[in-house]
Amino acid sequence: MTHGTQGEDTVGIGELAARTGLPVKTIRYYSDIGLLPESGRSRGGHRRYAADALPRLRLIQRLRALDTPIAAIATVMTGEHSLADLVTRELDTVQAHLRELTWRQGMLRTLDDCPEPERLRRLALLAEVGKLDEAHDRLVRYWHWALPTSLPHHLTQAVIEGAVPVPPVTPNSTTALAYAELHALTSKDDRRRQPQSHQVGDVASFYSGIMDACTLATEALASGCPARRAEAIDHFVRTYARISGHDDTPAFRGHLRSQFRHAAHAGSFPLRYWRHALAVTSHTPPQSNATGQGHLAASLATLHQQVAGLPLAAEHWADNDGSAAARPAEEAGGTGCRHTSGGARSARGAR
């Protein structure tokens, strides 16, 4: 190719415009920002492009038709990323946008069709959630703060994964509000720490026992197996018996049941946490073993009901009802129980 000629190996901007249907000014813009480098100029000063300019321009044109950002296209044209890389990255971006839009839709539904005072209360809660990824990170940071520092890393990670639900994928007014309530609860100055060594002794043994019981309870929920459910509650009760220095006897189970029910009150931090978490996860346990973020809520609800004889789900009790029998007790191994008799060590479940 020689500058100042229009050899067969170059093409003019007018021909590119004619063959692609793009305006000359658009092609000139792509050229000016480096997406479509010119190979030279004609004697008259007109831009000339190499023979590969046409397929390059068509690629740019087609990517722009999909609203692909110029900056992303540039990484392909310069060879920084392949077309496959671009598609993957853009798909991730679109999915993130869809997630944000779906969450926004859920928030608006939460604000719709409710009395004005309640609408203002909900608006304040929802506004504090902010971006979903940041909200989730704040919940994770709460649990890092709340769990004993001496708890082995693998147990800390297991508890956090099970205790922190991801934002609902398709939020409705119930799940969106529950997630906002969960965020607000763990952001307050009076938020509570989880059981520490002075309450439960060997923290590794305590949390491991609770997690094992939850695993069994989740398997029981998935399979509907009564034997597995009984095994889960046995493991759960034995964990509490062990930290309080008791054997698992009918008398101890009666005591534990009484303490669960006695601990119920509308302002209970652990009770509110697990109720909201259960609402976020839509009361649905995973269909396999106890895995997945937020899976502890369903298994703890099952264990709670077996121990206390009271359901955890919000619809079964009211905050303005003063009767302990009308509200679930603070969930052991996840919502809390205090042992007070027989010289037993004061203990609370994962709150």
Per-residue pLDDT of the chain (351 residues), as tens digits, is: 344 444 458 899 999 999 999 999 999 999 999 999 988 888 778 889 998 999 999 999 999 999 999 999 999 999 999 999 999 999 999 998 999 999 999 999 999 989 999 999 999 999 999 888 899 999 999 999 999 999 999 999 999 999 999 888 889 999 999 999 999 999 988 888 998 998 888 999 999 999 999 999 999 988 888 999 999 999 999 999 998 889 999 999 999 998 888 776 767 788 889 989 999 987 444 443 345 678 898 888 888 888 887 776 644 444 433 333 223 333 333 434 333 333 333 333 443
CA distance 236 to 210: 6
With respect to residue 350, please indicate whether it lies within any of the assigned structural domains: no
Instruction: Looking at the structure, tell me whether residues 132 and 187 fall in a common domain.
Output: yes
Instruction: Looking at the structure, tell me whether residues 34 and 112 fall in a common domain.
Output: no
Instruction: Looking at the structure, tell me whether residues 152 and 38 fall in a common domain.
Output: no
- pTM for the full model? 0.72
Overall domain count for the chain: 2
Question: Exposed/middle/buried for 331, CB within 10 Å: 0-12, 13-18, 19+?
Answer: buried
Identify which of 245, 255, 156 has the alpha carbon closest to the alpha carbon of residue 201: 245
CA distance 49 to 40: 7
Instruction: Looking at the structure, tell me whether residues 36 and 140 fall in a common domain.
Output: no
Domain end among 81, 116, 132: 81
With respect to residue 55, please indicate whether it lies within any of the assigned structural domains: yes
Instruction: Looking at the structure, tell me whether residues 50 and 107 fall in a common domain.
Output: no
With respect to residue 249, please indicate whether it lies within any of the assigned structural domains: yes
With respect to residue 278, please indicate whether it lies within any of the assigned structural domains: yes
Instruction: Looking at the structure, tell me whether residues 283 and 219 fall in a common domain.
Output: yes
Amino acid occupying residue 108:
L
Instruction: Looking at the structure, tell me whether residues 57 and 194 fall in a common domain.
Output: no
With respect to residue 93, please indicate whether it lies within any of the assigned structural domains: no
Instruction: Looking at the structure, tell me whether residues 187 and 283 fall in a common domain.
Output: yes
With respect to residue 241, please indicate whether it lies within any of the assigned structural domains: yes
Domain end among 20, 53, 81: 81
Instruction: Looking at the structure, tell me whether residues 121 and 56 fall in a common domain.
Output: no
Question: Exposed/middle/buried for 258, CB within 10 Å: 0-12, 13-18, 19+?
Answer: middle
3-class SS letters over 186-255: HHCCCCCCCCCHHHHCCHHHHHHHHHHHHHHHHHHHHHCCHHHHHHHHHHHHHHHHHHCCCCCCHHHHHH
Instruction: Looking at the structure, tell me whether residues 56 and 133 fall in a common domain.
Output: no
Instruction: Looking at the structure, tell me whether residues 296 and 196 fall in a common domain.
Output: yes
With respect to residue 90, please indicate whether it lies within any of the assigned structural domains: no
Domain extent for 188: 100-326
> Any bridge partners for residue 10, and if so which?
50
Instruction: Looking at the structure, tell me whether residues 157 and 15 fall in a common domain.
Output: no
Q: Looking at residue 40, which CATH number applies to its domain?
A: 1.10.1660.10
With respect to residue 92, please indicate whether it lies within any of the assigned structural domains: no
